[in-house]
Amino acid sequence: MNRRKPKQDPFRRALLCASLPALLPALRARAATVPASAASASATSAAASAVATLPAPQESSYAAQPRTAALAAALARANALPEPWVAAQLAQARFNPRVVQLMLPGKPMQKNWSLYREHFVDPSRIAAGVEFAHRHARWLRRAHARFGVPVAVLLGILGVETYYGRFMGNFRVLDALTTLALDWPAAAPTDRSAFFAAQLGDFLRWCRAGGRDTDTVLGSYAGAIGLAQFMPESILRWGMSSRRGAAVDLSARPADAILSIGNFLAGHGWTPGQPCSFALAEPPALDAATLQRLLAPDIVPSFSAAQLRAAGLKLDAAAGAYPGLLSLLQLPNGADAPSWRLGTANFYVLTRYNHSAFYALAVLDLGSAVVASA
């Protein structure tokens, strides 16, 4: 049975995000005992400072911990949810050391676009994409008609993200998000615990609105869900159901994932009919200072075709005729010479899904290969 989605107070959400950095580094502190009711009296920040002195859990369960109760109170207020219900959900969460391990930076490796591309644009994944495209052709056409996003882009994202639903993650999302909110690894370069605490609140809202059991939803180690690998915040904002009156289900209904991806890209400024990228026929033969200036904006389109030509780039006819701004993309290939592309505004929109030129280009190349083979 569907529950009405509670309306969230934006001010309280902002307060939660502002105060959680003080609340969540509890794993680095030693401790004093704080009553669970301490978080329910005043502002979220009061609860935050109270639990900041509590130690990280020595057991796998988060139940019956004062800091868990404080987080439950803060999330309940920020998301307009009943505090007893939130506390009951968090009591089911368990610390997952594998999640913490996967959040730590890996061994530094030389970037290699060719190897990255080969991993995603391979015959077996293309074949899986063709099968998916035939099975869900109606919804792919509908999403394209509604949002203007090409079928190739939709197929590319679904293939890169989850191999068309084959690998959607086997972590309990409740465990992953609670672990990252309360026990963010101290060795990580940036503390993102507040972000994951906010995602936990969004996850609870989504589950309650759709009548889902919070302890049965599976996803990635970062809490991304379904074929589209949406974070809970994105599900609430961009998720679309293919069934009127039904809750969004990105795991069991591919049509929902297709529509939601289209909605996400359209909401981030996708321009129908605009290309995403152009190839460079020749590598830039520029002095170091000019090349550095052109590469500085990275994936943000910043130069007109005329400006790039004036700087010394050789553009083909299509790129030269493009009326918008472009970005110069350098794609390292390990010890070999780099590859080069030009990115458009739509390319930048695509990187809102994943802030990586490698990712966006793999999506485009895979999707094009699937459509060409379908």
pLDDT in tens, 320-333: 999 999 999 999 99
- Residue 16: the pLDDT is 54
Nearest to 264 by CA among 238, 240, 242, 232: 238
Same domain? For 296 and 219 the reply is: no
How much of the chain exceeds pLDDT 90, in percent?
80
Same domain? For 282 and 219 the reply is: no
C-beta of residue 184 within 8 angstroms of C-beta of residue 95: no
Same domain? For 324 and 205 the reply is: no
What's the rounded mean pLDDT across residues 2-27? Answer: 44
Report the domain count for the chain.
2
Spatial CB neighbours of 237, under 8 Å, sequence gap ≥ 6: 267
User: Within a domain: residue 256?
Assistant: no
At 212-268, the pLDDT tens digits run 999 999 999 999 999 999 999 999 999 999 999 999 999 999 999 999 999 999 999
User: Within a domain: residue 372?
Assistant: no
Spatial separation of the C-alpha atoms in residues 274 and 37, rounded to whole Å: 55
Same domain? For 184 and 96 the reply is: yes
Nearest to 276 by CA among 359, 339, 338: 359
pLDDT band of residue 109 (cuts 50, 70, 90) is confident
Same domain? For 88 and 211 the reply is: yes
Average the pLDDT over each of 5-9, 97-101, 346-350 and give the range with the smallest value.
5-9
At 254-270, the pLDDT tens digits run 999 999 999 999 999 99
What's the rounded mean pLDDT across residues 2-18? Answer: 44
Q: Of residues 5 and 41, which shows the higher confidence score?
A: 5
Q: Of residues 209 and 34, which shows the higher confidence score?
A: 209
Structure token pair of residue 332: 């390292």
- Residue 20: the pLDDT is 54
Average the pLDDT over each of 54-63, 167-176, 198-207 and give the range with the smallest value.
54-63
* Bridge partners for 339 per DSSP: 331
Same domain? For 15 and 90 the reply is: yes
- Residue 6: the pLDDT is 39
Same domain? For 51 and 177 the reply is: yes
pLDDT > 70? residue 41: no
Q: Which domain holds residue 312?
A: 277-343
Spatial separation of the C-alpha atoms in residues 293 and 135, rounded to whole Å: 46
Structure token pair of residue 137: 């052709």
User: Within a domain: residue 293?
Assistant: yes
At 269-291, the pLDDT tens digits run 999 999 999 999 777 889 999 99
User: Within a domain: residue 56?
Assistant: yes
Same domain? For 187 and 308 the reply is: no
- Residue 283: the pLDDT is 79
Q: Model-level pTM?
A: 0.84
102-117 exposure pattern, b = at least 16 Cβ within 10 A, e = fewer: ebeeeeeeeebbeebb
User: Within a domain: residue 284?
Assistant: yes
